[in-house]
């Protein structure tokens, strides 16, 4: 792989996109060097194509020149996936940001990858349709990035993750070939499911240039409630009991005491600091009496499992207030310590009580603070290891704690990542999770589609001795 780019190649890039859309100034290389994590690497150049044909031409040029490409949307990712390693071009798809079609008969939206998730939600909801995947970054993340990372969100408990909504894709392969897979039809079992392969491929197999998303009718009503628990175990047992009772809320979010402490220090919201944990419930549907019955049933189960206070939102603004705290957890944690390693382990929901107990032991053993919050209903938890990455001794403990958390998740039948992707942060732990054979299959797929290895190098696959979250310093460390 090349680690520089010649003036002639830059000129060719400029011919493809227009000179204004190739950035090479120091300042631009600096601002395209990072994503939502703290890692920074400078790209060789940044190119912002406007069409699939331009993306294809860029891929062809990169193939000829053996230049690496890191595709990027809005750069809000939390796995370091858009950090340009190994001397890479940044290929930003944000100019491809049109909603091409909302088909109300077939219940699909056809969009370019740069469309922001929230904008799509607004557009389809105006037609009483609904696009459920709602990563916390829905206001600042693009559909292209959501698909590349197979993003989740709070509503995924009831509605599933991004891949459950990807009905067709247009992808530019590493060599520049453009292909489409899937369509507006609902059923499709013709050959391998390539939509599933490219969804969550983290930019390592190609650049996604168009997406057809399945939509569903918008539920008409929703309800929100909060329950407090003196013991986090009781909260965890409530989650499993609710699901065992056959209820499927839109969301069940858990916040532990340490998370609430950070939130209250950041911006007092009246959270019950005497509680060990709280659960936030949301239910939605088209029939209010059904929702009322469901809410009552959840309340009964919560009480039976030791819930203390239960607050029910009686209006949209009360509901918004209950959810507001959930939305500012990340900055609240960032205020407590300079940095944080935000994990997104995913476990069977029956294992939640065990997992939380293990995280507490791991935190104590390694002398690190690990607030836990997350999408308890679907078993996708966010233990966040708070740290100061400038402290090498502390970071050694943080790495150990992270490894032990991953081991615990895998041991309980879970996995490393539920919604952020592997990227840079978790790649050295891949084999422990998927095992050597699955890893061999993944490598075989990668080399079959990208034999030159030009797509987003240094991500997903472990490279012993190579960089990861702990060996790659941020530039200002």
User: Which residues of the shown chain bind another protein in the complex (CB under 8 A)?
Assistant: 23, 25-28, 30-32, 34-38, 48, 74-76, 92, 94-95, 97, 114, 116, 118, 137, 139-141, 327-328, 330-331, 334-335, 338, 475-476
Question: Of 334 and 452, which CB lies nearer to another protein in the complex structure?
Answer: 334
Shortest separation between residue 97's beta carbon and another protein, angstroms: 8
State the virtual CA torsion across 291, 296, 298, 302 in degrees, nearest 10: 160
CA distances from 334 to 31, 305, 324, 337, 400 (A): 21, 33, 17, 6, 21
Shortest separation between residue 202's beta carbon and another protein, angstroms: 18
Shortest separation between residue 209's beta carbon and another protein, angstroms: 16
341, β-bridge pairs = 385
Q: Is residue 165 within 8 Å of residue 131, measured between CB atoms?
A: yes
In three-state secondary structure terms, 263 is helix
Question: Of 119 and 193, which CB lies nearer to another protein in the complex structure?
Answer: 119
Shortest separation between residue 25's beta carbon and another protein, angstroms: 5
Question: Of 4 and 27, which CB lies nearer to another protein in the complex structure?
Answer: 27
Shortest separation between residue 443's beta carbon and another protein, angstroms: 31
Distance CA 125, CA 210 (A): 21
What residues contact 274, with CB distance under 8 A and at least 6 apart?
230
Enter the DSSP assignment of 352. Answer: H
Question: Of 217 and 331, which CB lies nearer to another protein in the complex structure?
Answer: 331
Shortest separation between residue 90's beta carbon and another protein, angstroms: 9
Distance CA 459, CA 51 (A): 26
Question: Of 70 and 137, which CB lies nearer to another protein in the complex structure?
Answer: 137
DSSP per-residue letters across 226-257 = EEEESSHHHHHHHHHHHHHTT---SEEEEEEH
Shortest separation between residue 314's beta carbon and another protein, angstroms: 22
Compute the half-sphere exposure of residue 374: CA atoms within 13 Å on the CB side of its CA: 27
Shortest separation between residue 317's beta carbon and another protein, angstroms: 13
Q: Is residue 169 within 8 Å of residue 199, measured between CB atoms?
A: yes
Compute the half-sphere exposure of residue 279: CA atoms within 13 Å on the CB side of its CA: 33
In three-state secondary structure terms, 27 is helix
In three-state secondary structure terms, 194 is helix
Question: Of 300 and 327, which CB lies nearer to another protein in the complex structure?
Answer: 327
Question: Of 312 and 328, which CB lies nearer to another protein in the complex structure?
Answer: 328
372, β-bridge pairs = 383
Q: Which of 306, 321, 313, 327 is nearest to 253 (CA)?
A: 327
Shortest separation between residue 32's beta carbon and another protein, angstroms: 6
Enter the DSSP assignment of 218. Answer: P
Q: What stretches of 347-475 adopt beta strand conformation (E)? A: 372-375, 380-387
Compute the half-sphere exposure of residue 422: CA atoms within 13 Å on the CB side of its CA: 23
Question: Of 50 and 310, which CB lies nearer to another protein in the complex structure?
Answer: 50
CA-based angle 442:48:147, to the nearest 5? 35
Shortest separation between residue 57's beta carbon and another protein, angstroms: 19
Question: Of 95 and 311, which CB lies nearer to another protein in the complex structure?
Answer: 95
Question: Of 72 and 158, which CB lies nearer to another protein in the complex structure?
Answer: 72
């Amino acid at each position: 792989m090349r680690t520089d780019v010649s003036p002639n190649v830059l000129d060719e890039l400029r011919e493809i996109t227009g000179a204004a859309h190739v950035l090479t100034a120091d300042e631009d290389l600096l601002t395209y060097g990072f994503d939502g994590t703290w890692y920074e690497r400078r790209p060789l150049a940044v190119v912002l194509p406007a069409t699939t044909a331009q993306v294809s031409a860029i891929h062809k040029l990169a193939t000829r020149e053996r230049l690496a490409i890191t595709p990027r949307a809005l750069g809000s990712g939390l796995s370091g996936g858009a950090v340009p390693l190994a001397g890479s071009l940044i290929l930003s798809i944000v100019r491809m940001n049109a909603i091409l079609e909302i088909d109300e008969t077939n219940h699909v939206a056809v969009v370019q990858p740069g469309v922001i998730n929230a904008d799509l939600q607004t557009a389809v909801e105006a037609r009483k349709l609904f696009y459920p995947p709602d990563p916390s970054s829905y206001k600042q993340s693009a559909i292209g990035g959501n698909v590349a990372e197979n993003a989740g969100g709070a509503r995924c408990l009831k509605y599933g993750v991004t891949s459950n909504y990807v009905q067709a894709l247009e992808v530019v392969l590493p060599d520049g070939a453009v292909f489409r897979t899937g369509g507006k039809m609902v059923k499709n079992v013709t050959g391998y499911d390539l939509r599933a392969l490219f969804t969550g491929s983290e930019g390592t197999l190609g650049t996604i240039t168009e997406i057809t998303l399945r939509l569903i009718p918008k539920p008409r009503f929703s309800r929100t409630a909060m329950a407090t628990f003196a013991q986090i175990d009781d909260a965890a047992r409530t989650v499993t009991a609710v699901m065992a009772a056959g209820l499927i809320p839109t969301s069940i979010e858990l916040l532990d005491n340490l998370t609430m402490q950070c939130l209250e220090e950041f911006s007092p919201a009246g959270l019950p600091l005497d509680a060990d944990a709280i659960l936030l419930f949301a239910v939605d549907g088209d029939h209010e009496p059904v929702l009322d019955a469901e809410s009552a049933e959840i309340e009964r189960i919560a009480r039976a499992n030791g819930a203390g206070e239960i607050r029910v939102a009686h209006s949209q603004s009360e509901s918004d207030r209950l959810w507001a705290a959930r939305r500012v957890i990340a900055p609240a944690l960032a205020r407590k310590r300079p940095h944080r390693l935000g994990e997104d382990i995913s476990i069977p929901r029956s294992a939640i009580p065990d997992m939380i107990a293990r995280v507490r032991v791991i935190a104590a053993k390694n002398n690190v603070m690990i607030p836990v919050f997350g999408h308890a209903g679907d078993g996708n938890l966010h233990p966040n290891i708070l740290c100061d990455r400038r402290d090498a001794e502390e970071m050694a403990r943080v790495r150990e704690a992270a490894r032990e958390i991953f081991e615990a998740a895998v041991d309980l039948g879970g996995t490393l990542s539920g919604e952020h992707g592997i990227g840079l942060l978790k790649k050295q732990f891949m084999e422990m999770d998927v095992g050597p054979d699955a890893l061999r299959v993944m490598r075989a797929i990668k080399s079959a589609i990208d034999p030159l290895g030009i797509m987003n190098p240094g991500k997903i696959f472990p490279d012993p001795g190579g960089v990861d979250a702990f060996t790659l310093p941020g530039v200002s460390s």
